[in-house]
Chains A and B, each alone.
Chain A
Amino acid sequence: MTECMEKTSEKVLTKGNYAIANAAVKAGCECYFGYPITPQSEIGEFMSGKMQELKRAYVSAESELAAINMVLGACSTGAKAMTSSSSCAVALMQEALSYAAADELPVVLVSVMRGGPGLGNIYPSQGDYNQSTIGGGDGDYKLIVLAPSTVQECADLTYKAFYLAHKYKNPTILLADGLLGQMMEPVEFKKYPYPEVDNSDWALTGAKGRRARVIRSYAPKAENQCEFLKRLHAKYDLIAQNETDWEEINTEDADIILVSFGSPARNAKSAMRKAREMGIKVGVLRPITLFPFPSKRISELANTAKKFISVEVNMGQMIRDVKLAVNGRAQVELLNRPVGTPPSVEEIVEKLKKESGIV
């Protein structure tokens, strides 16, 4: 009897949303500010209890505008702070994300995508690829965007989001979708694997024994703004150089490469395995960082692959970045569902058979 009660694994069965929230707590998140929206409400619910239990900061904000701005405030002191939201409500946060990018604040935003535009619906979607990677705030800025594909990755990439946000002093989005947020899988919550980033040279702490620090984006002189933007973009180049991350399977000899991020990449992988059994030379490239996008690798693969198929749950957003990377050297096609469940394994296999002349 006691034998079967013994723990044989460090894994727990949990929802993506809870995995994200628990990982944030384990990453040392000191402050959570949030406003409810489906399909990510479990994150705020979990945090409301856990943060109070741990005597950390939690605020049920009056709006998403307030929530993200509270994160900016907390981050200005060097604290690890976050909010979480979804599509139409992340839209409300765009102004603050632009400010956070300009102010170089380590904001962490968890965005669990639902259907849009407008109020849309609560089904899973990848309709906010553009919202995350291009953004709706003003000016030339970039956010680091991490895209988990499993519940385990929801936890692991939450750790990474806090680390990268602080390492580069740059707002960072963990971009999940309603499917990942709601599905349950076994997860192991490892120890936070990253070093703590020293913020003593910039955080607001009160100007004791030093000149006052100002975190601002207002630079009325044009030449100041030019210098600032060049410096900001040199940082983005460094992030691209150091942090571009992707998963790649069977691409070396592939005629066709399925490019897919997040939950649809799971079906792309299964379809690839089935198609390989049929003798179709297909590979998968799954971007894990959407900014920085693995453009360089896709560009290399365009030398050997004949066709890229972007598998997305939207009307075709990531495909633009794939096309830019391929730059006309191979065909690029879209296999999509506008919203809801991702293209099925069978659907992808059928497409691959058709492309290979096996019908």
Chain B
Amino acid sequence: MAELTQVFKVPESIKKGSKFSFCPGCDHGVAVRLVAEVLDELGIRDNSILVASIGCSVTLYDFLEVDSLEAPHGRALAEATGIKRARPDKVVFTYQGDGDFASIGMAESLHCALRGENVTAICINNTTYGMTGGQLGPTTLLGQVTTTSPTGRNIDYYGYPVKIAEHIALCDGTAYSARVSLDSVPNIKKAKAAIKKAFENQLNGVGFSFVEILSTCPTNWKKTPQQAHARVREEMMPVYKLGVYKDITENN
């Protein structure tokens, strides 16, 4: 009888016995797993400190076997700055939603990038405030119906959505800024490579590294997981184009 080899397992960085509390079909679960796989592969889990944020991402500390601090809404990168300045030998990362990162926390996010803090930031962009029931957020697309844009996002009342990865790329302190998606297996692989790059950059001390992850919110979008991924491709990607917007390590 041939020997059985395990080729897929729960990453070591995921808390033993933990069960994700995300809604069915939500991409948070995939994103968290990718972060855990990267922590495993780089062997940095037990030297890392996570700053959790407010929103659906708050419960991340229940799933990762990583020392964690919960930041007030929008302040994750201020907390991360404090941790990294106090303990530069630790790997410090944030995991935030688009509202946390780019609305209430936009000042902290941009200034962290401008200072070139040597930390890693991951932002889940699902074009809505998920935990509070699907309100309009900074990345809600023009025309998108939410509970606070009942007839769709219009410019007169709401202004424009923000393109986060492009803004972060404009900061001189940014080493790496990329936008990825979790809608397909090839894109999930690219997303993991980007997350890994963002952590490797910190280990190499090159500066602020950022990954924006286009993500689904089937519950608030009122779509099946398949329909939700179709929306990511058909509605989000034309506005939020995938790609690497800045990589200062490119030519090295």
Contact = CB atoms under 8 A, between A and B. Distances in A.
Nearest to B66: A212
Given A72-B75, A73-B71, A206-B91, 19 more contacts: A59-B115, A67-B78, A69-B71, A70-B82, A73-B83, A76-B79, A76-B83, A81-B86, A95-B72, A99-B71, A204-B67, A206-B47, A206-B90, A207-B45, A207-B67, A208-B46, A212-B61, A215-B68, A216-B69
Nearest to B44: A206
A69 B78 contact: yes
Contact of B68 (A63, A71, A214): A214
Q: How large is the interface on A (under 10, 10 to 19, 20 to 34, 35 or more residues)?
A: 35 or more
Contacts, number: 133
Interface in A193-213: 204-209, 211-213
B75 A69 contact: yes
Contacts of A355: none
Contacts of B61: 212, 214, 216
A62 B107 contact: yes
A79 interface: yes
A103 interface: yes
Contacts of B15: 212
A336 B194 CA distance: 62
A120 B41 CA distance: 55
A66 B108 contact: yes
Given A66-B78, A204-B49, A74 B83 contact: yes
8 contacts: A69-B79, A71-B82, A73-B82, A95-B72, A207-B45, A211-B65, A212-B61, A212-B67
B83 A204 contact: yes
Interface string B35-72: 00000000001111101100000100100111111111
A205 B92 CA distance: 11
A30 B82 CA distance: 11
B90 A103 contact: no
B247 to A, nearest CB: 25
A216 B85 contact: no
Contacts of B49: 76-77, 204, 206
A59 B81 contact: yes
